[in-house]
Amino acid sequence: MVLQVRGALEPYQAYNAITSKLGYGESPLLDKVFFEEEVKRAVGSFELQFHYGVFYAFLKLKEQEIRNLLWVGECVAQDAKERVWDGIVTIF
């Protein structure tokens, strides 16, 4: 499935950062790559002048924070503490 997504996104210049992270062999999880890109764009919206997109970006970053907390909780509950950093998307 990763190869199909990579093939669909390669012609578009805006998605080159995403397709470069998706390898042909072993690659990171597809959703994590998309979440990292979403966080990068949301954080970048705080560097511009005031606009209403900041509120949307704030909500998206809070959603990612909740996903990170759920991931850590699931890893602790399943006694897989060594996998905690594999699924966390750093925000700042």
Residues 41-86: tens digit of each pLDDT:
899 988 877 788 889 999 999 999 999 999 999 999 999 988 888 8
Q: What angle do CA 50, 88, 38 make, to 5 degrees?
A: 35
Q: Which two tokens stand for residue 17?
A: 């950062």
Residue 23 has pLDDT above 80, yes or no: no
Cα separations (Å) of 48 from 29, 55, 63, 70?
30, 13, 21, 31
Please report which confidence band the pLDDT of residue 4 belongs to, taking 50, 70 and 90 as the band edges.
Answer: confident
- The percent of residues above 90 in pLDDT, for the chain, comes to 33
What is the distance between the alpha carbons of residues 6 and 51, in angstroms, rounded to a whole number? 33
Domain boundaries, the chain: 2-87
